[in-house]
Structure formats: structure tokens, C-alpha cells
Amino acid sequence: MAFISSGYNPDKPMENRISDIGPQHFTEFLQPVIKDNFGKWKYHEILEPGLLKHVAESGDAVYTVRCGTARLMSVTLIREICDIADEWCEGYLRFTTRNNIEFMLTDEGKAKDLKKFLNGQKFAGGSYKFPVGGTGAGVSNIVHTQGWVHCHTPATDASGTVKATMDAVFDQFTDMKLPAPVRIAMACCLNMCGAVHCSDIAILGIHRKPPIIDHEYLDNLCEIPLAVAACPTGAIRPSKVEVDGKDYKTVAIKEERCMFCGNCYTMCPSLPLSDKEGDGIALMVGGKISNRISKPAFSKVVVPFLPNNTPRWPEMTDVIKKILKAYSEGANKYERLGDWATRIGWERFFEVCDLPFTEHLIDDFRDPAYYTWRQTTQFKW
């Protein structure tokens, strides 16, 4: 490999340097029909799953074909997406917050043709490249994190759990037969880059074993006061140990206080906590972000632990399917999963979803825990 210079001169880093320019203005990327009707949209319709029609005051209409992606994508795939956008959409496209792609056209017939075309594209392994759907009262694409693909703190994989889940609920992505949208999110550790704390269904990687202390290296790799300060429960204190007759400055951990958040490991690489048996998945449900009808709500833990049974996490997908089925059968039109569970009562939720209620599901973390206990004699048998 011969190093190819971009023009950057390492001896004079400031020469011709351009910095602090931010992204380009978004209007550089707007398709003519979008630009012409900016701020003047009148209404929209979902013509069929994955196909939206937006009508502007001018009478213009734009047809959007939405398709799912794996989020982790190669430049080969992005170039293929560009080929499609060049051929069908004047060289424009859009990504959604939930990792879907939107192709926009001004002709309804062509939009339907494009939907058919996209549904015909498959990877060599057999899966769809661009499955059309993700609209209305169904399951849209999963927002997720890096997992074992690219992160140092995960307790599970993200791309694999997402693939397994979307395979299991695929018919809900391509149809709109649920009572309301179901938003699934995945975060591979408690740090929640994916912020799954307000999702209808949240898949969360968790650790269950306290950190291993790498005594002989800790003081060289970490600032001990930072590691101590990182612990939200005050379980870590400075300490000294003798290993093979040599004294080391290190930390000691009160293991019964550990909540397995991994915050110490983020501050100190000598405190790893990943473990094949210890790590796995918790499932949370009933969160939402929209202000529609009810207030935004946090997700609640309903399954404290499921094993990392790679490559397809069957225990996890079974529970998700069970919850979705009970919700689909029991909820009213427009009722989000959490609103349904609240209406029927959480005691009923565990019954209809056939999930065990265990001690781990009663909150014991600080003040907010109290507000989740039942302070009334109103409950259901």
C-alpha cells in the first residue's frame, strides 16, 4: 500500500485547514418537489404499507416508498441505493430516524412500480435488501447500537438481536394490523446509546457479574479517583493488594452493591465485566415518546434476564412475539402498548402475556422506586 495524500501537510496542519463548517445546509439536498412545497404541505395518506402520499397546498403530490435497512451497511449497498435513487428519484433520497430509507417520486404508478422493484431485491444469502413497509400501525425498523460489532462495553450483540427480532416480526413491518405503532429499540448495555428507555418494546443488554479487577495493571491504566467516582452506588474504594510479593495500588469492590452498569469500566479498562454466563438481555415494555393521547412514558422491565443464545436469541424472540400477540388481541384502536398494559393493569399484563413476575421486577433503585409500588387497594384478581 502506498500512502495517498489528500493534500494535508502534516508539517503544517493549519495550512489550508478548513474547520468548524458543520454539515451543509439541508436545502442543498432537497428534491425539487420537496423544495417547491417546503412548509406548504396540506395532508398525507398511507396508500398501502410502505407507500405514503403527501399533498401540498399547490396541489403537488409526492409519493414516498419507505424500506427497511440493517443500519450497518456497506458502501457497495449505499451505491446500489444511489443507483436506485438516480434511476427513480432524480438522484435524491432520505433516511429516517429509524434507519429506513425513503425514496420520493411524483408519480403514483411509478412509486408502486418502485415498491415492487425494491421488494424484488435480495442479498446472496436470501434476505430482502430493501423490504418495503414500516408505516402506520405496525412495527417499524429498530433503532439500535453497535454491540459486539464495534463497542467495548456491550453485554450482547445489537445487529444480531435486531436481525433475529425483525425476522420474527417481519409481517408486522410489512403490514399495518396492530392497534397502534409499536416502536422497538435495542441498546447493548445500560449506557443506552440507543436510549431505549421510552420504547414500546426495548431490548437491553445487561451484565450480571461485577467487574474483574486487573490489580497489576490498574494503577497504570486508570485514574483511581475517577474509577471510584464513577460508581453510582459507591461500591468502589481505593485499596492496596499484594500480588507475588509486590504491592499494588488498586481498588476494592463491594460486590453486593454493584448494579452492573459498567460505568467504572468506561472510566477504567482494568475493570472488565463482560462474561458469557453473566451477560444477556432484559426486556422492557410500555414506553413512548409521542404526546398523543397519553404522556410520554418510560419503558418498564418485564423480563429481567434472558441468555445470549446466539446466533438467534430464540428465548428473546419468543417473548417479544408473545407480548405482541397479547397486545394485538387486547388493545383498543390507537392504544399504545404501555397504555394498554396500564388500562388492563400490569397484573393482568403478566397473565395475558404468560410471563412470570419475579422479585427482580420490583424497583429498588432510589426514590423513584417508591412511585412504582402500589399504594391503593385497587387491584385485580
Stated length of the chain = 381
Nearer to other proteins, 99 or 250 (CB): 99
The least CB distance from residue 318 to other proteins, in Å, is: 15
What are phi and psi for residue 329, nearest 5 degrees? Answer: -80, -30
> Is residue 56 classed as helix, strand or coil in its secondary structure?
strand
Q: How far is the CB of 132 from other proteins (least distance, A)?
A: 12
Nearest to 103 by CA among 82, 122, 123: 82
Residue 15 CB burial class (10 angstroms; 0-12, 13-18, ≥19): exposed
Cell numbers standing for residue 42: 396540506
Q: Which grid coordinates are listed for 71? A: 443500519
Q: How far is the CB of 361 from other proteins (least distance, A)?
A: 16
| Residue 301: count of CB within 10 angstroms of its CB | 18
Shortest distance in whole angstroms from residue 250 CB to other proteins: 18
The Cα–Cα gap between 175 and 306 comes to 28
Nearer to other proteins, 193 or 352 (CB): 193
Query: Quick one: residue 134, left, alpha or beta (phi over 0 = left, psi -120 to 50 = alpha)?
Result: left
Amino acid identity at 313: W
Residue (178 or 323) nearer to other proteins, CB: 178
Closer of 250 and 263 to other proteins (Cβ): 263
Task: Name, in order, each residue with C-beta under 8 angstroms of 199's C-beta and a sequence gap of 6 or more.
Answer: 143, 183, 184, 185, 284, 287, 288, 299
Least Cβ distance, residue 203 to other proteins (angstroms): 14
- Tell me the three cell numbers of residue 299: 419503558
Closest to other proteins by CB, 121 or 246: 121
CB of residue 246 vs other proteins: minimum separation in angstroms?
25
Residue closer to other proteins by CB (options 198, 285) is: 198
Q: How far is the CB of 85 from other proteins (least distance, A)?
A: 5
CA distance linking residue 252 with residue 265, whole number of Å: 14
Closer to other proteins at the Cβ: 330 or 351? 330
CA distance 283 to 59: 46
Instruction: Considering the complex, state which of residue 38 and residue 379 has its C-beta at the smaller distance from other proteins.
Output: 38
Tell the smallest beta-carbon distance from residue 190 to other proteins (Å). 6
CB atoms within 10 A of CB 284: 22
Q: Shortest approach of other proteins to residue 239 CB, angstroms?
A: 22
266 vs 351, beta carbon nearer other proteins: 266
Strand 61-68 and strand 100-105: pairing?
A: antiparallel
Query: Three cell numbers at 294?
Result: 397519553
Asked if residue 147 lies in contact with residue 189, where contact means CB atoms within 8 angstroms, the answer is no
